[in-house]
């Protein structure tokens, strides 16, 4: 599944990654290394996967201190990496692309030139969920309603802006816009203080599961014509029937790829180990969240919008992917 058709061709990205690579020595992470994993809100998918990775890394690299940081997700994570305040981050592909370009409107004051790629992982599904009593059944029905669009300038919020624009709408069409994490959005919906929430996450995200088990919901479709207007990096996707309580039919939506990103300055051995241990332990990682089942080694380089870290490049060369 190719999630990106943007201006960064795969050959150019791989060449850039190799150009950055010095001679790499095999071995484990340097003793005393520190890995801070930047994730997202605790009710999303990034956080449990980050916790799962931290356990894998801690067990395999006993001399490396590993911790997990809950954040506002993609945009904040990428800015923190640039500032040297993290070693590994989860981020949406469109956010990574805009960070590399230095898109100020998206929350990047300048080009984040220290970012380096580790792997393409699983796709995020845009999941627009309304309370059944709100009467919302389509994107157009969001007009005049109270909607949470994610934390300000988070990857989710950038998705919300893009989807509304493709549907011929903007925040001005909504009665109220709330910039809230997933869990807080759900609590407001339970209390009838919010009509709908847009959440960009893996299928089966705990926040929507919680909501669906508490109140009747409607999952709002993002139709094919809107997906076409969005273009890359968005692709048409389906939320299968039964993903959430009360969902009796497939729902058409869009998806965008997620990436694991590191930075210049992280040692080659550490980046190599972070990449290798990810793919060597996918079954273990699935226990943290089922979204990990969609992570495939053969897709690890697809759509990579930034240069690979030399340590990651070494791993992919060993696997015959480069």
CATH number of the domain at 110, please: 3.40.190.10
Same domain, 303 and 269: yes
SS3 of 24, please?
A: coil
Same domain, 250 and 180: yes
Is the backbone peptide bond immediately before 259 cis, with ω within 30 degrees of 0?
A: no
Let me know if residue 113 belongs to a domain: yes
Let me know if residue 1 belongs to a domain: no
Q: Check whether 13 has a pLDDT greater than 50.
A: no
Residue 135 domain boundaries: 124-256
CA distance 68 to 55: 10
Same domain, 156 and 232: yes
Task: State percent of the chain over pLDDT 90.
Answer: 81
In the chain, the number of structural domains is 2
Average pLDDT over the chain reads: 90
DSSP 4: -
Please report which confidence band the pLDDT of residue 198 belongs to, taking 50, 70 and 90 as the band edges: very high
Residues 6+ apart with CB under 8 A from 249: 241
Let me know if residue 211 belongs to a domain: yes
Let me know if residue 82 belongs to a domain: yes
Q: Check whether 127 has a pLDDT greater than 50.
A: yes
Over residues 26-69, the pLDDT tens digits come to: 334 443 489 999 999 898 899 999 999 999 999 999 999 999 99
Same domain, 247 and 100: no
Predicted confidence at residue 104, as pLDDT, reads 93
Cα Rg, the chain, nearest whole Å: 19
Average pLDDT value for residue range 7-25: 42
Predicted confidence at residue 233, as pLDDT, reads 83
- Picking from 207, 233, 256, the residue at the C-terminal end of a domain is 256
Q: Check whether 25 has a pLDDT greater than 70.
A: no
Let me know if residue 37 belongs to a domain: yes
Let me know if residue 309 belongs to a domain: yes
CA distance 200 to 207: 11
Least confident of 20-24, 84-88, 174-178, 187-191: 20-24
Let me know if residue 140 belongs to a domain: yes
In terms of DSSP bridges, do strands 235-239 and 176-178 run parallel, antiparallel, or are they unpaired? Answer: unpaired
Least confident of 19-23, 201-205, 244-248: 19-23
- Picking from 256, 280, 309, the residue at the C-terminal end of a domain is 256
Same domain, 212 and 177: yes
Same domain, 266 and 304: yes
CA atoms within 13 A of residue 156's CA, in its CB half-sphere = 30
Residue 262, H or E segment:
strand 251-263
Same domain, 101 and 15: yes
Over residues 289-311, the pLDDT tens digits come to: 989 999 999 999 988 999 999 99
DSSP 215: S
Predicted confidence at residue 3, as pLDDT, reads 40
Predicted confidence at residue 153, as pLDDT, reads 74
Average pLDDT value for residue range 168-182: 96
Same domain, 118 and 130: no
Same domain, 133 and 118: no
Does 303 or 9 have the greater pLDDT score? 303
Does 16 or 281 have the greater pLDDT score? 281
- Picking from 256, 272, 304, the residue at the C-terminal end of a domain is 256
Predicted confidence at residue 235, as pLDDT, reads 87
Q: Tell me the sheet residues that pair with 238.
A: 252
Q: Check whether 192 has a pLDDT greater than 70.
A: yes
Over residues 216-264, the pLDDT tens digits come to: 999 999 999 999 999 878 889 999 999 999 999 999 999 999 999 999 9
CA dist 154 to 15, 80, 150, 308, 321, Å? 30, 13, 7, 23, 32
Let me know if residue 297 belongs to a domain: yes
Same domain, 135 and 225: yes
Extract the tokens encoding 165.
Answer: 């624009």
What are the helix and strand counts (H, E) for the chain?
A: 11, 10
Predicted confidence at residue 11, as pLDDT, reads 45
Residue matched to tokens 């230095």: 102
Same domain, 116 and 29: yes
Please report which confidence band the pLDDT of residue 169 belongs to, taking 50, 70 and 90 as the band edges: very high
Same domain, 291 and 221: no
Residue matched to tokens 């995020």: 124
Find, among 118, 101, 107, 110, the residue nearest to 37 by Cα.
118
Predicted confidence at residue 16, as pLDDT, reads 45
């Amino acid at each position: 599944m190719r999630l990106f058709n943007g201006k960064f061709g795969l050959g150019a990205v791989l060449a850039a990654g190799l150009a950055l690579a010095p001679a790499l020595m095999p071995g484990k992470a340097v003793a005393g290394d520190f890995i801070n994993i930047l994730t997202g809100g605790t009710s999303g998918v990034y956080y449990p996967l980050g916790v799962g990775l931290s356990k894998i890394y801690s067990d395999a690299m006993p001399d490396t201190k590993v911790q997990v940081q809950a954040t506002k997700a993609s945009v904040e994570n990428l800015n923190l990496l640039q500032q040297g305040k993290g070693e590994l981050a989860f981020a949406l592909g469109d956010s990574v692309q805009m960070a590399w370009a230095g898109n100020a409107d998206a929350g990047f004051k300048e080009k984040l030139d220290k970012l380096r790629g580790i792997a393409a992982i699983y796709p995020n599904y845009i999941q627009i969920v309304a309370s059944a009593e709100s009467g919302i059944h389509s994107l157009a029905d969001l007009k005049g309603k109270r909607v949470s669009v994610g934390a300000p300038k988070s990857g989710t919020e950038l998705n919300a802006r893009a989807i509304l624009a493709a549907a011929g709408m903007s925040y001005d069409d909504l009665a109220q816009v709330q910039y809230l994490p997933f869990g807080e959005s759900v609590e407001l919906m339970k209390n009838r203080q919010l009509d709908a929430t847009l959440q960009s996450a893996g299928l089966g995200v705990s926040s929507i599961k919680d909501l669906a088990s508490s109140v009747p919901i409607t999952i709002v479709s993002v139709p094919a014509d809107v997906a076409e207007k969005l273009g890359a990096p968005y692709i048409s996707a389906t939320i299968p029937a039964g993903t959430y309580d009360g969902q009796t039919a497939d729902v058409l939506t869009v998806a965008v790829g997620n990436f694991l990103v590191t930075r210049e300055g992280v040692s080659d051995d550490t980046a190599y180990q972070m990449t290798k241990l990810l793919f060597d332990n996918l079954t273990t990682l699935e226990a943290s969240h089922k979204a990990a089942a969609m992570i495939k080694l053969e897709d690890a380089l697809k759509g990579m919008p930034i240069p690979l870290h030399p340590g990651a490049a070494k791993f992919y060369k060993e696997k015959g992917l480069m």
